[in-house]
Chains A and B, each alone.
Chain A
Amino acid sequence: MRVLLVEDDRLLGDAVHEHIADEGHAIDWVEGIADAEAAIHSTPYDLVLLDLMLPDGPGLGLLRRLRSGGDVTPVIILTARDQISDRIAGLNSGADDYLVKPFNLSELSARLAAVSRRYAGNPNPLVTLGDIEFDLAGRCVYRSGRPVEVTAREWALLEGLLQHPGTLLSKTQLEERLYPFGAEVESNTIEVHISRLRKKLGHDRIETVRGMGYRLKR
């Protein structure tokens, strides 16, 4: 999915950025509120990781502006403040979850996945389509009970299709989910990933609607 990281600490941002990109998500990293707002207005993000103490203002301000503007993009707060009242204020301002620094990267991944599942209206991490079983929490796929090896990019693509089974996703939408700003994307990259997934999951599992996009068959 497409993730926006708003974190002013270079070292931490760098590690988080690398970790999430490694999991196959497209992640953009900004270091302040102004840049974050610009990014949110130009790109449909699936999730925002928001630090609370930023050089150009409090993260909660950005969150409140988003929510009062009707933006429902899931937001996970990263906070270094051990004040439970801050965390409660964050949740009351419309955050979906929070992590207290320092946090484990595996914890971060788990929260990311859980929040986006909840957002898709499917809190159950196990999704079954025919003979295919997806474990969204464990990030693994089973075909007829046997595990199937998928790459991080393929998984990210599957996650996108799984969020709304039966709904069409255009090639551009899928590219946006997989690649951050400035990434060089070959024009046929998505097609390549789709065809590999078809080999692994069965040819008719992913439908192509010409000129429109792709969808998972229920």
Chain B
Amino acid sequence: MMQRIWTGAPSLQRRLSLGLAIGVTAMWLAAAVAAGLVIREELDEAYDSALQETAQRLLPLAVLDIVERSAGAGGRRVTPIGEHKEFLTYLVRDSKGRILMQSHDAVPADFPDTPAHGFRTTKTHRIYGEKAVSGTIIMEVAETLEHRREAAIEAAGTLFLPLLGLIPASLFGVWWFVRISIRPIRSLRGAIEARGEGDLSPIAASGLPAEIEPIADAVNRLMERLRRALEAERSFTANSAHELRTPIAAALAHTQRLIAVSKDEAVRERGRHIEAGLTRLSSLSEKLMQLARAEGAGLIAEAEQDLTTVLEHLVEEFRRAEPENARLRLTAAGSLVSHMDADAFAILLRNLIENALKHGDPEGVIEIDVSSDNVVRVVNGGAVVGTDELKRLRGRFERGATRAKGAGLGLAIAQAIAAGSGAELTLSSPATGREDGFEAKLRLPE
């Protein structure tokens, strides 16, 4: 199975994974931020109400204390019960702003100059003021904003910390899930890629997701149409061959009857001319049919097969046709397992062998050998063919410097079939390991 590396083309998997991961992460973060803000709001409220509560609780005590001292000079500090850092500090002042009382580590500078009722926020503190004795005594409780910030940060920390683990986990989860979900697409791609030129068997569409199944169905319909077109073309060629050959066969047979029964030598001579003409017509029409076949489709079969049997049959046919064809030597050591269509292969080899019989040394042996790696060589003796000549031989209707009869289509047909089926045809002269002769080497497609 060939793995294609997708470069440039956007990958669905990458896109989905990235998109989902970024989306999920953004959602997580947004949720966390929103939660943080809400928590902060709630914390502020809680702290504010604690501040207010404290002020309201402390105020009567402070008033009592102040009244008891009947306005002693200067503000007094409340003696602390042991050393401790106060989160809350307070200041009791009269309406003029004179300090009547303060907590032990209250810093008057932290407080605004004029006391006021209600909540205020300075740069560093949150302050709540409560009035008593008809506004003559005002108690302000201050809390450092820092303290609140710490609390908020702590809360945010507990909120965000799990995300550090959760986000990568969800990213991995998304990636893995996308990968799993995309598997049918992969297998579909594999199935389509596996369909070669010849293999048009339907792709199994069952078990595919609803979005992909139509694709498989469409591909199957397309392949079915292609298959029908190929079959139509193939049967058309076969039928035209039939339609053409039968009348030629009839004319030839009648001509031969005429030669057999006629007592008149002149008539018999005429008959022999017609016979020769018909034979030529027949071989030319056959070559044209082969060419049509070679340039059409259907050069690749659905299934692999061993073409050795076909080759043996072909050589046998040659041997039976002409006594002089006994000089064909077939050595089949290897196998020829290929997807090439058997008939196309036969036409190709027939042309190579005919070429060797026609143009090679008329007395020499023609070697047809199959080496083990899907290679057939057809070798004949005879004069060396020059390089320019070799080039020309591949053109259509080209004939080498020979007096042999023939339409000159043979090698062109062989070339066309080789090109159309993915086989590789190499013509060389002199033949491999010899000083003379001509060699056609055919390497079959897998």
Tell me the interface secondary structure of chain A in the complex: helix
Q: Are B245 and A80 in contact (CB under 8 A)?
A: yes
Q: Are B241 and A85 in contact (CB under 8 A)?
A: no
The stretch of B101-109, B161-169, B187-195, B306-314 in contact with A is B306-314
A172 to B347, CA, bound (A): 48
Question: Which residues on the A side are within 8 Å of B343 (C-beta)?
Answer: 82-85
Question: Which residues on the A side are within 8 Å of B257 (C-beta)?
Answer: 15, 18-19, 105
B210 at the interface (CB under 8 A from A): no
Question: Which residues on the B side are within 8 Å of A11 (C-beta)?
Answer: 247, 250-251, 253-254
Q: Are A102 and B278 in contact (CB under 8 A)?
A: yes
Q: Are A102 and B249 in contact (CB under 8 A)?
A: yes
Question: Which residues on the A side are within 8 Å of B248 (C-beta)?
Answer: 101-102
What is the chain B residue whose CB lies nearest that of A9? B246
Question: Which residues on the B side are within 8 Å of A149 (C-beta)?
Answer: none
Q: Are A15 and B254 in contact (CB under 8 A)?
A: yes
B56 at the interface (CB under 8 A from A): no
Q: Are B249 and A101 in contact (CB under 8 A)?
A: yes
A2 at the interface (CB under 8 A from B): no
Tell me the interface secondary structure of chain B in the complex: helix
A181 at the interface (CB under 8 A from B): no
Specify which of B241, B251, B314 is in contact with A81 (CB 8 Å cutoff). B241
B289 at the interface (CB under 8 A from A): yes
A87 at the interface (CB under 8 A from B): yes
Q: Are B238 and A16 in contact (CB under 8 A)?
A: no
What is the chain A residue whose CB lies nearest that of B309? A88
A22 at the interface (CB under 8 A from B): yes
The residue among B238, B251, B253, B282 with the most chain A CB atoms within 10 A of its own CB is B253
Q: Are B282 and A82 in contact (CB under 8 A)?
A: no
Q: Are A12 and B241 in contact (CB under 8 A)?
A: no
A194 at the interface (CB under 8 A from B): no
Specify which of A19, A85, A102 is in contact with B342 (CB 8 Å cutoff). A85
Question: Which residues on the A side are within 8 Å of B253 (C-beta)?
Answer: 11-12, 15-16, 19, 102, 105
B6 to chain A, nearest CB (A): 41
Question: Which residues on the B side are within 8 Å of A22 (C-beta)?
Answer: 260
A160 to B248, CA, bound (A): 33
Question: Which residues on the A side are within 8 Å of B389 (C-beta)?
Answer: none
B252 at the interface (CB under 8 A from A): yes
A131 to chain B, nearest CB (A): 31
Question: Which residues on the A side are within 8 Å of B289 (C-beta)?
Answer: 82
B256 at the interface (CB under 8 A from A): yes
B residues whose Cβ falls under 8 Å from a Cβ of A: 238, 241-242, 244-254, 256-257, 260, 278-279, 282, 286, 289-290, 309-310, 313-314, 317, 342-343, 346-347
A residues whose Cβ falls under 8 Å from a Cβ of B: 9, 11-12, 14-16, 18-19, 22, 53, 80-85, 87-88, 100-106
Given contacts A19-B260, A105-B253, A105-B257, 13 further A-B contacts (CB under 8 A): A9-B249, A80-B242, A80-B246, A80-B249, A81-B241, A82-B289, A83-B346, A84-B314, A88-B310, A88-B313, A88-B342, A102-B282, A104-B252
